[in-house]
Amino acid sequence: MIISWNIRGFNDPINQQEVRGYLSTNKIEVFGLLETRVKYNNSAAISKRFASFSIINNYSHHYNGRIWVFLNPSIVTVISSKVHDQLIHLEMLHHISNKVVNVTFVYGSNDGDDRNEGNLEETHSFGCGYTWTNKRDVDERIWSKLDRVLVNPGWLAAYPNTQVTILPSGISDHSPLLIQAKNVRHNLQSLHRTHFAGLTKRVQEAKKELEDCQYQIQQNLLTSELLVKEKSLLEVYLSLKKTGRSSLIQRAKVQNIQHNDAPNSYFFSRIAIRKNQSIIGKIHDRNVQIRDGIHNVNQAFVEYYQALLGKKVETIGMYSSLLRGSQVPDSEWPNLCKPVEEMEIKRALFSIDSNKSPGHDGFSAQFFKKS
């Protein structure tokens, strides 16, 4: 759980109390404060009020220490850091997931030249729609989306179910941005282990075994056992190659790939992006209440459509004069009423392209064909 907030001043005890509230109620692991406006002489006294957290700031590069980062030392350990007058970059070990993550908190200068000198280039939202407001009266009120959370494909590969919630601005004119990274265990693990686990290694081993057999054939050109073995090994190798390629294409939804393309980082970045885009982590229900979690989100959809479609209303009577056109002959009535045969279902299923998008249950046509 990560949060970033432009607090517009951290000297006020009320602001400090607000931060303590976020840290306790949301179980925040990393908290970045921007535009703190705390003089260096006052920083030690304020830090003592958050003694249970490790604190990193950028007073070494800016007299106002514009950025403070609070870290929960029992959950994250800083491996390395980069401190700048406009950013603090941290490489951290997350003990719960046992993964190394890189997080950068940026508070860019108002001066465009300063932003360029800062080399900032080296380094899915929900809730409120805007992150900043001037908090003036209606006729002069301005809203804008100034604050951003950016992640790269590597982050999405490690935490594919990341979501950002824009919280109410509270005491500041900027809204806190809450980043939640959820690790979800996927179903069908046994199926995955059987067909896809260690696939790259299995392909390499199959290729080596095939080549070894072909070397032996060169030494014994007319040995029938080796020729039969070569044919069998070739089938296994091609099958594994096809399985790996089919899996990547299906997951990445990239169809215009040439046969000689390798499963490179482009595949995996597309897969991570598609996973993140397909997740609905939170939603407003019919009562404009936020519902989160897979079960609650599903229930919100069900309730909405039950209310939309489940009401009884009077309908206009049907007149026989409106029923024109061809009619089913009496002789065909039995065919309409007879049970659907298994072969009909199979024909319909196998007529669907294997790489079509999955149905509502999440399984593609290829999955059912192979099963």
366: nearest Cα among 242, 250, 199: 250
Which pair of tokens denotes residue 115?
Answer: 């932003």
Amino acid at 171: I
DSSP assigned state of 115: H
- Rounded to whole angstroms, the Cα distance separating 253 from 356 reads 9
Q: Which residues contact 368 (CB under 8 A, 6 or more apart)?
A: 349
Tally Cβ neighbours within 10 Å of residue 271. Answer: 21
Place of tokens 């982050």: 155
Beta bridge partners of 56: 69
Predicted pLDDT at 67: 96
Region 212-237 average pLDDT: 86
The tens digit of pLDDT for each residue in 124-180 reads 456 677 899 888 887 888 989 899 898 888 887 777 778 888 888 888 999 999 988
Q: Is the pLDDT of residue 123 over 80?
A: no
Report CA dihedral (193, 196, 198, 203) to the nearest 10 degrees.
140
Helices 199-219 and 224-252 sit at what angle, rounded to 10 degrees?
A: 160
Q: Where exactly are the structural domains of the chain?
A: 2-182
Give pLDDT, residue 119: 54
Better-predicted residue by pLDDT, 35 or 124? 35
Residue 260 scores a pLDDT above 70: no
Least confident segment among 23-27, 249-253, 331-335, 364-368: 249-253
Mean pLDDT of all residues belonging to the chain: 82
What's the CA gap between 121 and 107, in Å, rounded? 13
* pTM exceeds cut of 0.75: no
DSSP 174: B
- Residue 188, by phi and psi: left (phi above 0), alpha (psi -120 to 50) or beta? left
Nearest partner of 1 among 157, 159, 168, 181, judged by Cα: 181
Residue 271: pLDDT band (50, 70, 90) is low
Does the pLDDT at position 205 exceed 70? Answer: yes
What is the C-alpha to C-alpha distance for residues 296 and 125, in angstroms, rounded to an integer? 18
User: Taking 90 as the threshold, does the pLDDT of residue 310 lie above it?
Assistant: no
Q: Which of 33, 36, 40 is nearest to 60 (CA)?
A: 40
Question: Using CA atoms in the order 107, 108, 114, 120, what is the torsion angle rounded to 10 degrees?
Answer: 90
Q: Are 30 and 92 in contact (CB under 8 A)?
A: yes
Q: For 2-182, which CATH superfamily applies?
A: Endonuclease/exonuclease/phosphatase (3.60.10.10)
Got the DSSP string for 316-331?
Answer: PPPPGGG--S----GG
At 116, list the tokens. 């360029």
DSSP 197-222: TTHHHHHHHHHHHHHHHHHHHHHSTT
